[in-house]
Structure 1
Amino acid sequence: MEIIPSSRFRGTVKYIRAFIFITLILAILFTLCLAGVIALAKIEGAPPLAVPQTTIFYADDGTKIGESDNGQTRYWVNLRDISPSVIQATVAVEDRSFFEHHGFDTKRIAAAVIADIKAMSKVQGASTITQQYARNLFLTLDKTWMRKLQEALYTIRLEVNYSKQEILEGYLNTIYYGHGVYGIEAAANYYFGKSAKQLTLSEASMLAGIPKGPSYYSPFNNEQRAKSRQKIVLQSMVESGYITKKEAAAAYKAPLVYSRNHEVTKKQIAPYFQDVVKDVLRNKLGIDEQTIEMGGLRVYTSLDPKMQTIAEQQIRDTIDPASAIQVAFVAMDPHTGEVKALVGGRDYNKSPYNRAVQAERQPGSTFKPFLYYAAIRQGFTPSTEMRSELTTFTFDDGKATYTPHNYNNYYANDTITLAQAIALSDNVFAVKTHLFIGEDKLVQTAKKLGITSSLKQVPSLALGTSPVRVIEMVNAYSILDNNGKKVEPVFITKVVNHKGETIYEYNAESKQILNRDAAYVTTQLMTGMFDPKLNDYTTVTGQAVLHDITRPYAGKSGTTETDSWMIGYAPQLVAGVWTGYDRGEKITKLAEKQYAKKIWVKFMENSLKNEPVQSFKPTKGVVGVYINPDNGKLATKACPIKRLTYYVAGTEPTEYCTEHLDKKKKKAPHHKEENEPNWFDKLFKWF
């Protein structure tokens, strides 16, 4: 037996002690470094989990009408809204030790290193779900040591600040599944036409295999490779104890029915409307473009899909396909201002220019209701008479003249009432009224009604010669329909961010901006275009569509050489149509001049088909009396035609029509009539 010299023994102990000391120091340093990294992760706090997500637009019934995604589809769903089979399949095939490790799987890393050394190349990955999520969230794909270090730091930050469930939820919502699809919800919809919550074991195992190589394992690119990968996923689930071999075999054999909807270009729903919604998000709500496109917003709009479909269908059915004439259409709820349908042109793909909100065109006689509201406020009544005859007006201190013409140069060459003037669209009566009450009154009224376009204070303004937008006109008519309460066009009712927080919600404000009674009288005047009782030297302007009407409407048409308009309303809906040529060509064909009216009446009738018939409810300060429409006087039993007409209380006629009485009975009745004010009313009025 060899005896170790004491000197050698002492040397060996010295080395062992040195090794232990160095190891201890290194262990302490490693522990300190690790503690420092963890402390730093805690100090820096939870990294933001915001990732690009698809913004979705919804109609008023909750149906999806479109999305903004820049070619990428991304949705975010809670973990509880994901099929358990998806969660199990993903963990089994991607990171079996996910719930045990703290961001890094040392065993997998060691195994991967050995495998790579043996093969002399990188053949096995060791990234955990947390590492992959960190990469998806924050990092570029460049393969540098700096990127690796950043990935490790982000991984630690995620593990320190978030629960395993939160990390798994984030991973499943950000992983790439090929074909521009990110996240399990988008993948489930893309491949199988269903939500992530509805996925079966067979479907879940197929999708879980795709992220390893999205283009390589996509069933749409190569189903055989995808099935092979699915088998690996199912086997991993068996080994992890999630399912049995029998369940795996059944899932593998189960036929998969893929959704092919993505292969067909989906028809855009209300593209002009969606453009306006995005503009409102940008310019009124102050949301930046990047957030609109990929901020995961849920934008709830006012659009009624049924009304939108009706509007588009009536435009297609009415306008000759060979015609180059264009169209703009807007429908609104008069009580809320919500825009229910909008069309900015005949073909969005050919011309995205939105004529409903961008183009300014001469409104023609559709401007007259604003004039007659102003006149009623100045003392005019539906019975006010003026002569309808060719007249030349002098203005601008005698420096200029203006001669308006009626349609087809028809004139009564006699007196007509205001009620007849608006129903027959008499231009001479309108200009006389305009000059009589003062040209500033029409401008003031139009501005009150929300007309923001520039208006020229000239005699011809009464005939709508200053260009305006369709959306402005329909909104103004909504205010009249609403008895003078202010409304503004509403396109968005609510916006929810990617966290589910409501960041905007529309709240209607009720503000009376017009006199209620005068507004109601104006509405009743506008029903005249559909009432043949007001026919005189020509027929009422709504004569051509009377056979299509089944309920009370108020409205006004307007025609210039280059523009054709129709705007009108029922108590619960208002709509306006403009037709014309983009370059201002003259509308010469008779059929084209009728397009606006036909589109309007068919839209209104179809949209309200299943709604109750409503009449315009009188306000408290108006009085309805029967008059002879030919002269505006109170009708007697002898009058062949009587028409119920409304007046602001106190302005109703008191004189009876005597034109149809026998000579013996020509004197008006002396007994007290229902419409004659009593002594109290006279005293109150005097006071």
Structure 2
Amino acid sequence: MQVVINRKRRRRKSFLRRSFRLLLVMLLLVSGSAVALLSYTRMLGPPNLEVSQTTIIYGENGEIIGESHSGQNRFPVELDSISPYVIDATISVEDRRFYDHLGFDPKRIGGAIIANLKSGAKSQGASTITQQYARNLYLTHEKTWTRKWNELLYSLQLEMNLDKDEILEGYLNTVYYGHGAYGVQAAAELYFDKPASELNLAEASMVAGIPKGPTYYSPILNEELAKNRQWVVLQSMVANGAITEIEAAEAFEVELVPTNTRREIGEKIGPFFNDIVEKQLIEENILKPEEWQAGGYKVFTTLDPHMQEIAEKHIANELTDPDLQIGFVAMDPKSGDVKALVGGREYGGKGFDRAVEAKRQPGSTLKPLLYYAALENGYTATTTLKSEKTAFLFPDGDSEKEEDYYWPNNFNGNFADDYITLIQALAYSDNIYAVKTHYSLGFHKLAEIAQKIGMQSTISTTNPSAPLGTSEVTLLDLTTGYSAFANGGQMVEPRFIKRVETMSGKVIHENPVYQEEVLDENLTFILTDMMTAMFDRRLNDYTTVTGGSVAPLLNRPVAGKSGSTEFDSWMIGYTPQIVTGVWSGFDRDKRIDTRNAQVPKQVFAKFINEALKDELILPFHQPDGVVAVEIDPKTGYLASESCPGPARVSYFIPGTEPQETCPKDVEELEEAIEEDSTAERGFLKRFMDWLH
């Protein structure tokens, strides 16, 4: 009997020894595996922590006019720029043992496994902050064992290569808070219109509760559920020793009203302008395409949100034809800063921009370029040419062939059939005067001036109709060219971007203002003064001034020129503060009617008045090299009581101004006609007719 008992004892001892040895081997294997796993994750080095960030585009006043992101609105900030309340609330509700574990919490995992086995589903999670950060960076949110294993590996890699504060900072910058807001900075701005550093306890506890279910716990969508979740967060903070019961109760009683002031994803001020900014950033190699996609920049632009709003309002009011399209540009003539831009009646998402891409015939808006060249070559405001139906022989044409002649026409076939002054020719937009000047100066002069003022469009040097706008240009190009007239002969380049910074404020690109003196200051001022005549209805004669319909809308000195073709209508003009160009027409070959042709002038005048209503009413700067003379614009003589037209102050280079007044009687007039053997001053005969 004793022998049997001893044998059983020996077998038991042997089993225990084998079990102990097996357990020891298993522990060694587990420990070795753990050491190997930790060593492996350590050897892998720091993981890739890059996530797409939001790039913010600012207007000139600091207002956000656009954002770029890959569907994740995110503004990373450093941990010390996050409210301590947010940090305490997040740790308390998400992972109280965050600073004590190696990326996973065995106790929580065990509890979650038991709960899931009991329920027969993966209904309960035990993810730590590190695991959630790993999931935000690399994984999906599906509940599978494979994903959990990968999550564990990534968590260990994070823990072995980063310190706890770096992990916490990364988590708070990547977690989703609803409504397209990723990261606590975006959430703070979305819900409370303030940076994350300024969130108080009540706000922080509300925000910290959202990631568990952004759809359910958003205070914008469901205030009651959000408050319930806030209470859970506050009690977690109490349990974790972060706050007291009294502080929790007081925070819970604070009434929170979410602001939701951030724009919806994709909503922009001046969307056509935003597209140009993005295009320039990449095409000019300021940012590489992959850098733009990654985001994390601040782009400071020239857009004036207030002017943009005014432009869009008046465009919407004037575009009554559903098919009529429009282009609009307003810029500072001194800097080239583009203040407002509209590329079409509606924005379709990086579609065709009619302000910068559409090449159309500009009509008579090219005439000021021609007349500047004329001033360079001895013309003055009182130079006269005859306005009558005229045939012009094409260069290299055969004078014996009728088809080799060019017959320009005036609007509605109105001709003076007499001599008119240059100032009248501009005010009436007389085509005969323009073509005669074009032939007189040489066809190359118009193209040379266009090139001088920085226009990129090619103006024909062989076509007799070039001053009537038969060469195609873009609205931005022509408006930029007019800036040289408004800026005293200084050419500028259109500027959309002022500078680009990283989110930390490091300047990586600056775009200085570019100016170059290309025109004579005195002649530019003389031309500008003549260009104000299109709004001077006192000059109405055999036809009316082209800006008469909108003259009552203008309450300050404005210079400009309109233009029209069968398919296009234009208005380009300026004050000392701003130059504005407007085009309207149809995308297809459809002729523009009289009503639609008025749209650019109406938009131009109404925009100028409202955009500058709080600005000083300034005259154009008169340089020292000109003299002011009161003339009769109808005859070109010095103004006197005997002149037929209303007096008007015009400007001249000293020595080129008129020296004589209108003849006082018929006898004096007849003598003047007889002395004028060239008949170049044909208005003398017209004046005699007026006397009779």
Does the aligned pair in 2 maintain the 1:626–1:634 contact within 8 Å?
A: yes
DSSP-derived class of the 1:331 partner: strand
Q: How much does 1:161 deviate?
A: 5.2
Q: Deviations over 1:520-555 (max 9, x none)?
A: 332222122223454443232222222222211111
Match of 2:530 in 1: 525
Question: 2:548 is aligned with what amino acid?
Answer: Q
Unpaired runs of 5+ residues, structure 1, are: 669-687
Larger CA deviation: 594-603 vs 235-244: 594-603
Q: Secondary structure at the match of 1:167?
A: helix
Equivalent-residue separation in structure 1 for 2:601 and 2:224 (angstroms)? 59
**Cα distance in 1 for residues equivalent to 2:312 and 2:116:** 63
The DSSP-based 3-state class of the residue aligned with 1:579 is: strand
* Deviation by residue 1:240-287 (Cα, 9 ceiling, x = unmatched): 111112332343454443456789999753233223333323333454
SS, match of residue 211 in structure 1: helix
Change beyond 3 A, Cα 1:517–1:158: farther
Q: CA deviation at 1:476?
A: 0.9
For 1:616, the aligned partner's letter is F
**Is 1:358 aligned to 2:360, yes or no?**
no
Given residue 347 of structure 2, which amino acid in structure 1 is its aligned partner? Y
Tell me the residue number matched to 1:74: 74
1:126-180, CA deviations, whole angstroms, 9 ceiling, x for partnerless residues?
4332332233123455778886676556545544554543332221121022344
In 1, Cα distance between equivalents of 2:542 and 2:118: 103
- With over 3 angstroms needed to count, the CA separation of the structure-2 counterparts of 1:111 and 1:595, relative to structure 1, is closer
Deviation at residue 25 of structure 1 after TM alignment: 7.8
Which residue is equivalent to 2:676?
Answer: none
Change (3 A) 1:261 1:64: closer
- 1:242 has 2:242 as partner: yes
Match status 1:432 vs 2:431:
no
Partner of 2:342: 343
* Mapped partners of 1:144, 1:628: distance in 2: 91
Letter of the 1:369 counterpart? P
Alignment correspondent of 2:169: 169
Deviations 1:420-468 (A, max 9, x none): 2112211001001111111122122223333333433301111012222
Distance 1:341 1:628, change over 3 A: same
Q: Is 1:330–1:575's contact at 8 Å kept on the other side of the alignment?
A: yes
| 1:40 equivalent among 38, 43, 50 | 43
**Contact 1:410–1:537 (CA under 8 A) maintained in structure 2:** yes
Asked if 1 retains the 8 angstrom alpha-carbon contact of 2:495 and 2:513, the reply is no
Shift of 1:654: 5.8
Given that 1:54 and 1:293 are in contact with CA atoms closer than 8 Å, whether structure 2 keeps it comes out as no
Given the superposition, is the C-alpha separation of residues 263 and 346 from structure 1 closer, same or farther in structure 2, using an over 3 Å criterion?
closer
Q: CA deviation at 1:182?
A: 1.7
State the Cα distance separating 1:341 from its structure 2 match: 1.2
Retained in 2: the 8 A contact 1:308–1:341?
Answer: yes
Contact 2:446/2:459 (<8 A) preserved? no
* Distance change in 2, residues 1:83/1:586 (3 Å): same
Taking the aligned partners of 1:213 and 1:268, their CA distance within structure 2 comes to 28
Q: Deviations over 1:54-79 (max 9, x none)?
A: 33322211112232345443233343
Residues 32 and 177 (structure 1 numbering): CA distance in 2 closer, same or farther, change over 3 Å?
closer
Distance 2:141 2:116 in 1: 21
Q: Which moved more, 1:652-661 or 1:269-278?
A: 652-661
Residue 418 (structure 1) aligned to one of 415, 422, 430: 422
Separation in 2, partners of 1:186, 1:234: 22
1:648–1:150 Cα change, 3 Å:
farther
Corresponding residue for residue 401 of structure 2: none
Give the 3 Å change call, closer, same or farther, for CA 142–530 of structure 1 in structure 2. same
Q: TM-score, normalised by structure 1?
A: 0.84
Q: Do 1:295 and 1:497's aligned partners in 2 also have CA atoms closer than 8 Å?
A: no
* CA distance in 2: counterparts of 1:264 and 1:297, whole angstroms: 19
2:406 alignment partner AA: Y
TM-score, normalised to structure 2's length? 0.83
Distance (whole Å) between structure 2 residues aligned to residue 217 and residue 595 of structure 1? 50
Q: Kindly report which structure 2 residues correspond to 1:321-470, keeping only aligned pairs within 5 A, or say none.
A: 321=320, 324-348=323-347, 352-399=351-398, 400-456=404-460, 457-470=462-475
Q: Is the 8 A contact 2:109 2:126 kept in 1?
A: yes
User: Alpha-carbon deviation of 1:492?
Assistant: 2.0
Structure 1 residue 618 corresponds to structure 2 residue 622: yes
In the superposition, relative to structure 1, how do residues 161 and 546 fare at CA in structure 2: closer, same or farther (>3 Å)? same
Q: Residues 145, 505 of structure 1: CA spacing in aligned structure 2 closer, same or farther, 3 A cutoff?
A: farther
Aligned partner of 1:685 in structure 2 is none
Q: CA deviation at 1:472?
A: 1.3
1:503 maps to which of 495, 501, 508: 508
Measure, in 2, the Cα distance between the counterparts of 1:109 and 1:578: 67
Pair 1:57 & 2:57 matched: yes
Which amino acid letter does the alignment assign opposite residue 412 of structure 1? A
Q: By how many angstroms is 1:337 displaced?
A: 1.0
485-494 vs 463-472, which moves further: 485-494
Q: What pairs up with 1:287-298 in 2 under 5 angstroms?
A: 287=287, 291-292=291-292, 295-298=295-298
User: Which one-letter code corresponds to 2:552 in the other structure?
Assistant: H
Task: Please report how far the alpha carbon of residue 89 of structure 1 lies from its aligned counterpart in structure 2 after TM superposition.
Answer: 0.8
Note closer, same or farther for the CA distance 1:223–1:329 as it changes in structure 2 (3 Å cut).
Answer: closer
Residue 620 to residue 149, structure 1, CA distance change in 2 (3 Å): farther
| Residue aligning to 1:512 | 517
* Partner Cα distance (1:484, 1:161) in 2: 62
Matched residue count: 661
State the partner residue of 1:301. Answer: 301
> How much has 1:301 moved relative to structure 2?
2.1
Shift of 1:351: 11
Partner of residue 599, structure 2: 595
Residues 488 and 525 of structure 2 are in contact (CA less than 8 Å); yes or no, is this contact kept in structure 1?
A: yes
Counterparts of 1:246 and 1:292 in 2: how far apart (Å)? 48
SS in 2 for 1:328: strand
Contact 2:67 2:266 in 1 (8 A): no
Cα distance, 1:295 vs structure 2: 1.5
Q: Deviations over 1:198-224 (max 9, x none)?
A: 544334323322323444555566666
Give the Å deviation of 1:21: 10
Give the Cα–Cα distance (whole angstroms) in 1 for the partners of residues 91 and 214 of structure 2. 17
For the Cα contact (< 8 Å) 2:52–2:70, is it kept in 1? no
State the match for 1:678 in structure 2. none
Paired letter, 1:40: M
Match of 2:566 among 561, 564, 578: 561
Q: CA contact under 8 A between 1:334 and 1:478: conserved in structure 2?
A: yes
In the alignment, is residue 474 of structure 1 matched against residue 479 of structure 2?
yes
Mapped to 2, the partners of 1:386 and 1:522 lie a distance apart of 17
Cα gap change, 1:629 to 1:239, in 2 (>3 Å): same
CA distance in 2, matches of 1:554, 1:195: 47
Describe the superposition over 1:499-528 as per-residue Cα deviations: whole angstroms up to 9, x where unpaired. Answer: 543332221122223333333332222122
1:673 aligns with none
Closer, same or farther in 2 for the Cα pair 1:121/1:552, shift >3 Å? closer
Amino acid at match of 1:560: T
Contact 1:566/1:600 (8 A) holds in 2:
yes
Check the 8 A contact 1:298/1:495 in 2, yes or no.
yes
- Partner SS state of residue 307, structure 2: helix
| Alpha carbons 2:426, 2:533 under 8 Å: kept | yes
Partner of residue 557, structure 2: 552
Cα RMSD for the two superposed structures = 4.1
**Kept after mapping to 2: 8 A contact 1:416/1:630:** yes
**Is 2:333–2:579's contact at 8 Å kept on the other side of the alignment?**
yes
- Residue correspondence of structure 1 range 29-178 to structure 2 within 5 A: 33=36, 36-37=39-40, 40=43, 44=45, 46-105=46-105, 108-109=108-109, 125-140=125-140, 151=151, 154-156=154-156, 158-159=158-159, 162-178=162-178
Query: Does the 8 Å CA contact 2:638/2:662 hold for their aligned counterparts?
Result: no
